[in-house]
Structure 1
């Protein structure tokens, strides 16, 4: 069994992409980030595989400070691959602050990490990954229309971005970094807004396009505009628009929020897998 770290993203991509594309919806996060690495959007990415006799057993990817993404190709080798990966990370002093993966895989990895390092792990987000192929046509829609966000919306989006992080329990991003991210999103026409009678009442964004799919995220409606169906209506309407270009949409939900999970299912999103984001702490 061989642990192979890659410095060249093209070589890494050529090795792992065929498997990832067979599971394009399930591993859309990994694929989307890989495309951004290839585009030069991340510096010093961590890319590695575990192989045996030419067979791919596991795939790993990290773009600090973002989580370590883990995929196991051969689940029969789950424990052995986990042990080998953790040994490599520890021996080469690779700092991993958090991990994200299929729930079963991530929990096993975190438990093994705890045994190996004496550190601790904790839950950051208990997630469900959902896929949409067709919007439910009978869905009741709230008043208003969607539009692409533009530079004149930047300050509002920056404010809502910060509020989204707070409500989701995510680490707060510095205002200057939020400003950069919002500009990038606006330049890429990634942000959508819902307007009712000229007032912007909700937002969402698209990200990480793959060969056949796209991710929906950053769905946010300010507290004073909730319980009017704006978020659900916007996600339904924009997802339908995205399906003109892509075969499917995916999104991650907070499994501890039954309301949002119910809303997405009403739109037509169907659960693919349980996913989890875990924080790792070393002594």
Structure 2
């Protein structure tokens, strides 16, 4: 008899009690779950209820699977020997999930085990800051305020349309105001009073902060503004006490991967996202 079993948690409090020590012990790998669940804790009224599953081996928690609708399952903490069980339970409690994301080996194993026809929609590389090296670029940085919501919403929508076109629509204005109200960092790079690039940074969780999205409108690209605003957001995160500052770069974009390394980030792991075909 297989000793592995799964528990579907009906409250975030129950899930936290089972997984807090486990997830915070490795905040780099569990960055997406930690930041997305923190957002729900801070503003539960604006978020859909998450899907929260833990896996147990002889009573000990050995992994978890999280989904914060409308996004795919997050498989960073999914043990490979629990994949078949995870697919079975997830299919029962959340049949409308659109896909899965996480470190490539884990997300690909989950996607394959579903037996569904899927496509890889995103291949990224996870980076972690070593020593920040801000570039010498014309302009200055400032942190965004409520007055910048309209601009940030437009840029976020442009970023999603370009980088994650399969993403479901979201109430961008409300989400952006909530993000600012909760104290998340939104850095702008400014030339002669005009913002030309944007980078967001999450509040530290277990000493970890993640940078992203990073967006420069096409008219302002190839001038170093993306690197500069990423460095500014990184500096903000360090000022908030972050020990691990992370970001993800699209592997199909060699420019961004090079830029992040130039300002002090080192590659850690490759992630992949798969969405089911309908």
Match 2:172 to one of 171, 178, 184: 178
The aligned counterpart of 1:238 is 233
Matched, 1:50 2:52: no
Deviation sequence 1:205-238 (CA, Å, 0-9, x none): 1125302121110211111111110110121133
The aligned counterpart of 1:33 is 36
TM-score by length of 2: 0.90
**1:22 CA displacement:** 1.6
Deviation sequence 1:4-42 (CA, Å, 0-9, x none): 111122221121121111211121111112223333253
**1:56 CA displacement:** 2.2
The aligned counterpart of 1:122 is 119
What root-mean-square deviation, in Å, do the aligned CA atoms of Structure 1 and Structure 2 show?
A: 2.0
> Could you tell me whether the CA contact under 8 Å between 2:186 and 2:233 is conserved in 1?
no
Deviation sequence 1:155-186 (CA, Å, 0-9, x none): 22222112111211423665x81221222233
The aligned counterpart of 1:162 is 157
Closer/same/farther in 2, CA of residues 172 and 275 from structure 1, 3 Å limit: closer
> Could you tell me whether the CA contact under 8 Å between 2:199 and 2:230 is conserved in 1?
yes
> Could you tell me whether the CA contact under 8 Å between 1:61 and 1:68 is conserved in 2?
yes
Residue pairs, 1:75-224, within 5 angstroms: 78-79=80-81, 81-92=82-93, 94-114=95-115, 119-136=116-133, 140-171=135-166, 174=169, 177-189=171-183, 190-207=185-202, 209-224=204-219
Structure 2 counterpart SS, 1:243: helix
**1:140 CA displacement:** 3.6
Residue pairs, 1:270-281, within 5 angstroms: 270-281=266-277
Would you identify which runs of 4 or more consecutive aligned residues in structure 1 move more than 6 Å? none
CA distance in 2, matches of 1:101, 1:238: 24
> Could you tell me whether the CA contact under 8 Å between 2:201 and 2:209 is conserved in 1?
yes
Structure 2 counterpart SS, 1:235: helix
CA distance in 2, matches of 1:61, 1:279: 16
Between 124-133 and 39-48, report the one with greater CA deviation.
39-48
CA distance in 1, matches of 2:248, 2:206: 19
Gaps of 5+ in 2: none
> Could you tell me whether the CA contact under 8 Å between 1:58 and 1:71 is conserved in 2?
no
> Could you tell me whether the CA contact under 8 Å between 1:202 and 1:234 is conserved in 2?
yes
Structure 2 counterpart SS, 1:84: helix
Match 2:251 to one of 249, 255, 265: 255
Structure 1 counterpart SS, 2:171: helix
Structure 1 counterpart SS, 2:239: coil
> Could you tell me whether the CA contact under 8 Å between 1:135 and 1:267 is conserved in 2?
yes
Matched, 1:268 2:264: yes
TM-score by length of 1: 0.88
